[in-house]
Amino acid sequence: MSTNYDCIIIGAGAAGMMCAIESGKRGRTTLVLDHAKAPGEKIRISGGGRCNFTNIYTTDKNFLSTNAHFCKSALKRFTHYDFIAMVQKHDIAFHEKTLGQQFCDHSAKNIIEMLLNECAAVDAKIQLHTRIIDVQKTSDTEFSLQTSQGQLTCQSLVIATGGLSIPKMGATGFGYQIATQFGLNLTECRAGLVPFTFTDDFKDFCKNMTGVAVDAVVSCGKQAFREGLLFTHRGLSGPSILQISSYWKEGLDIHVNLCPDNNLLEEFKKIRETHPKQKLAKTLCAFFPKRLAQSLCDFHQIDKKMAEMGNKEIAFIADNINNWCLRPNGTEGYRTAEVTLGGVDTDELSSKTFETKKVSGLYFIGEVIDVTGHLGGFNFQWAWASGFAAGQYC
């Protein structure tokens, strides 16, 4: 004996719950399934527990995809203003941090509670501790799901299972498996918004600098970001590094400007004239913490008095601070990645409804699709927008 629903959504994350809310508003009997113990686990840990739930500067330019146009329709139909209105409706206090990022004043749990309350208001049910054993399309208008809690059927099936990032939070490749089962193409998946690791002498440099943070411009190819950079015991992290990691591939160099507000070649020449007896390490202390200043000298094996440094030496050290060329060994991978790049090929989906072109009634939303946002609330906005869009049709 199976239980029938109009719409079943697999994945009780940001996109899945938003889709359930919209489906329920249309009077559709809606069920959200998840193998986790609690809904919205990625929401709970995001933003240091405060949830960076959207960004007021969201545009399609903040997203990576093999089809740059796919995200436009959904983002226009459900904007950051719409989600902020929902937050305000539930009297959740929030504030803006740098670069348009919106955070809860108190806890990310406020956002989860808001979504659960919205689901309850439209009788969209959420069933946790449920493992999906098998999914089949049994007719033109029906899917059959065998779960650890019994048999279910539905007219519309929405996959909102996310990507591979942070497996300890329950991330799996289930969504990709379903896509493959139904003959959909996948683009290459890799970890995004993730720290870099190094294996050469630079790793030891980073290890000695663990915990030191500076403002930096980090670039790879034509893409560049200016935000904080953090040295770790394994390499480099911080917002600027996480951002550029989505554009980096194995074998590519990154360029790091540790002092973006100063042309150090010009500064060093001036200081050589005015303070010729001053050592390089002390000179660098005007721009960096003392610990970093000395370590830069040690790493590049230069710590002379300014007067003792020729133009070539000055140019060398300046270039290795304003335009330091580094080649990461790799990244920390899905273990710490905030997102998964790639996924279900957008050519397989309708940008209006998120229904697959090959299988009627089957939808994919959120991170499982080949649409990935920059750091700073953009991936949540994609979850809200794609969930909202699919919820109008599923």
Give the mean model confidence (pLDDT) for residues 92-111: 97
pLDDT above 90 for 357: yes
Separation between Cα atoms, residue 388 and residue 9, nearest integer Å: 13
What is the spatial distance between Cα 210 and Cα 195, in angstroms, rounded to a whole number? 13
pLDDT of the residue at 169: 87
pLDDT at residue 49, rounded to an integer:
95
**What is the signed CA dihedral for 21, 336, 347, 156, rounded to 10 degrees?**
-30
Residue 34 is predicted with a pLDDT of: 98
Stretch 243-256: mean pLDDT: 97
Confidence category of residue 12, pLDDT binned at 50, 70, 90: very high
Report CA torsion sign: 334, 335, 339, 344: positive
Give the per-residue pLDDT at 1. 58
Q: Which two tokens stand for residue 147?
A: 């779960």
CATH fold match for the domains 3-190+341-391 and 196-331:
no
β strands within 250-337, DSSP E? 254-257, 324-326, 330-331
Distance (Å, rounded) from C-alpha 162 to C-alpha 167? 11
- Domain boundaries defined on the chain: 3-190+341-391, 196-331
Name residue, tokens 């501790």: 129
| CATH match of 196-331 with 2.40.30.10 | yes
Mean pLDDT throughout 164-175? 92
In this predicted structure, what is the pLDDT of residue 303?
A: 87
Confidence (pLDDT) at 2: 72
Q: What is the DSSP string of 6-53?
A: EEEEE--SHHHHHHHHHHHHTT--EEEE-SSSSS-HHHHHGGGGT-EE
Exposure string (b/e) for 342-364, b if CB count within 10 Å is 16 or more?
A: bbbbbebbbeebbbbeebebbbb
What pLDDT is stored for residue 355 in this prediction?
Answer: 98
- Name the token pair of 339: 């997102």
Please report, for residues 197, 258, 352, the alpha-carbon distance to residue 245 in angstroms, rounded to integers and kept in the order given.
11, 17, 30
**pLDDT of residue 21 exceeding 80:** yes
Mean pLDDT, range 179-191, rounded to an integer: 98
pLDDT, tens digit, 9 for 90 and up, residues 37-95: 999 999 999 999 999 999 999 999 999 999 999 999 999 999 999 999 999 999 999 99
Q: Does domain 3-190+341-391 have CATH number 3.50.50.60?
A: yes
Q: Give me the pLDDT at residue 264, please.
A: 96
pLDDT of residue 200 exceeding 90:
no
CA 210 to chain CA centroid, Å, is 23
Q: What is the mean pLDDT of residues 121-149?
A: 97
| CA-wise closest residue to 217 among 257, 171, 173 | 257
The answer to whether 158 and 151 are in contact (CB under 8 A) is no
Q: Under a CB-based contact definition with an 8 Å cutoff, are residues 317 and 300 in contact?
A: yes
CB-based contact 55:381 (threshold 8 Å): yes
pLDDT higher than threshold 70 for residue 202: yes
Separation of alpha carbons 296 and 100, rounded Å: 33
Amino acid at 127: Q
Within a 10 A sphere around the Cβ of 289, how many other Cβ atoms?
A: 14
